[in-house]
Amino acid sequence: MTRVILTLGVGGAGKTTTSAAIGVAEARKGNRVVVVTIDPARRLADALGLKALGNDPQRIPLDDAAGRLDALMLDRRATFDEMVTHAASSPDAARRLMANPYYDAVSQRLSGGQEMMATEKLYQLVRSGDWDVVVVDTPPSQHAVDFFRAPARLERILDQSLLGPLLRPGRGLIGMATKQVTSLIRRLAGAQVIDDLAEFFSLLGGVSDGLKAHSRKVHDLLSSDRTSYYLVTNAHAPREHDLFAFLARLGEQGISLSAILINRLRAAPAWAPAEEAGLREADDPILRGIGDLAANYRSMARHDQVLVQRLHQQLGDIPSYALPDLTESVADLDGLRQLSEFLPPLSGPHWELPD
């Protein structure tokens, strides 16, 4: 049975890189893994060493992996087309709907459409059975909440009680309007506009039941025990107010976090403070500079630890996992491999934070 891992978080926390590292870790365990991003900034492609990603899974070369790793970046229009094709009563009905001049506007500009299509793509990947694990790099903060609301929102949009008047254009779209308004529309935009609108809503009505049933399946998947949620935050600057407001919104959606991954935790220098002090008092300016740099890094590491402990105390029973700061090295697959070795077992025991 396919497992789903969703990474959540505010912007700038290293969520995309962490998602890619999770994909690498799962593939190295022998799983068939696909990583999905709905972030148009293309950071996932950069992290995986690719020039670009498309809407279809692309194989990532991992020579040391017992499993396999694929990745894709959501194409909103292409996914909308796939959804309509699957829900339509026939290929001809799907083609007619997609050829309608208003279809493009709806598929590209519908508010919340990016998040709706992300949940659709997730469901397509799970339904295919081609992967053991699907990792989804969700958009930052508020848009991530929209991601979880997307199935219910699509179902509301397709509610027959709301679409009803528009699905019967003879009595609805035209019949509900006064003759004066209809005449004005015809004069300004032409009769073809009304005909195209009437056809669009009629064709949309033909696929609405299938799309609504599909959205309910997606909602069930997101709510099932097959799906795990991991919050990625940044030890350097967790922006606690943003973080806790985000957690509150997740709670309103009934989402329970499996764990929190605290990213980019800086470690104190390996040598003893006494050695560091000796360097800072040396006659050689280079040695003094090294001592000052080490002292500054030790101070930043201590600051990280204070923030991490504060988060740990305020988050209560949610397991917390600290990941080291590998910012400079995580720029390619080798860096992702290195980061993946520090990831905890995603279903494993709670890791204590370092002292």
Q: pLDDT tens for residues 300-314?
A: 788 777 777 777 776
CB 70 within 8 A of CB 45: no
The strand pairing partners of 321, in sequence order, are: 261
Average pLDDT, the chain: 76
Q: How confident is the model at residue 354 (pLDDT cuts 50, 70, 90)?
A: very low
Measured distance CA(218)–CA(238) in Å, rounded: 31
pLDDT at 210 over 90: no
| Secondary structure in 3-state letters for 35-100 | EEECCCCCHHHHHCCCCCCCCCCEEECCCCCCCEEEEEECCHHHHHHHHHHHHCCCHHHHHHHHHC
- Above 80 in pLDDT, residue 353? no
Class of domain 3-270+304-340: alpha beta
Instruction: Provide the residue ranges of all domains of the chain, joining segments of one domain with +.
Output: 3-270+304-340
Work out the pLDDT band at 4, boundaries 50, 70, 90: very high
Nearest-CA neighbor of 201 among 76, 103, 77? 103
Q: Which amino acid is at 240?
A: E
β partners of residue 36: 72, 136
Q: What pLDDT score was predicted for residue 162?
A: 45
The token pair that represents 207 in the structure block: 């696929």
Examine the pLDDT at 161 and tell me if it is beyond 60.
Answer: no
Q: Tens of pLDDT along 211-249?
A: 778 788 888 888 888 899 888 887 665 565 567 777 777
Q: pTM for this structure?
A: 0.78
Instruction: Evaluate if residue 47 carries a pLDDT over 70.
Output: yes
- 348 against 154, higher pLDDT: 154
Residue 196: pLDDT band (50, 70, 90) is low
| Cβ atoms < 10 Å from Cβ of 106 | 15
Predicted pLDDT of residue 62 = 86
Which DSSP state fits 344? P
List, as one string, the DSSP characters of 106-145. HHHH-TTHHHHHHHHHHHHHHHHT--SEEEEEPPSHHHHH
**277 against 323, higher pLDDT:** 323
**How does strand 133-137 pair with strand 32-37?**
parallel
Q: How far apart are the C-alpha atoms of 171 and 210, rounded to whole Å?
A: 24
